[in-house]
Amino acid sequence: MINHSLYLRLVHPRPRLLQTIAMGALSALSVISGIVPAEMAQAQPSTTDLEQYKNIAVQIEQQRMQDYAEVKRLMGGTVPESVCQRGDIPPKVREICDRFEKNSRDIIQANGMSVPKFNEITRYCQQSPKPRDCPR
């Protein structure tokens, strides 16, 4: 059964690298977070954690861009927003969405960070105004 609460936003790459990295990180968060308790603390991450987070986000963004290109090809050049939340996507696109979720989780863990820690830093970086030490 497909969990429609999972979300992979495959968007066209933006010209600003850090903005793109941030979008990829947010995409990964949406895919792998599921339901997150609101009461989790959003303490400021250490400089080391933020550097590790940025490196992971770059890797996830590279994967997202590859997957986006593949989905775009499969869908004839037009990728709807929130494509992976849709129930009417081709099976091959569903496979790509599922693969992106797995690969994102693997990238995070292979780089020595837990998924909950990655999600915690993502939530920290989603604050408004955005903390200065987060990717732009």
Does residue 90 form part of some domain?
yes
Domain count, the chain: 1
Global confidence as pTM: 0.69
Does residue 83 form part of some domain?
yes
For residue 65, pLDDT beyond 50:
yes
Q: What is the mean pLDDT of residues 77-102?
A: 94
Does residue 2 form part of some domain?
no
Does residue 119 form part of some domain?
yes
Q: What is the mean pLDDT of residues 63-81?
A: 95
Q: How far is the C-alpha of 52 from the C-alpha of 33, rounded, in Å?
A: 18
For residue 2, pLDDT beyond 80:
no
Does residue 4 form part of some domain?
no
Does residue 69 form part of some domain?
yes
Does residue 3 form part of some domain?
no
Instruction: Establish whether the linkage from the previous residue to 131 is cis, with ω within 30° of 0.
Output: no
Does residue 27 form part of some domain?
yes
**Domain region containing 84:** 17-33+42-125
Q: What is the pLDDT of residues 6-51, one digit of tens each?
A: 333 333 343 344 444 445 555 555 555 554 444 444 578 999 999 9
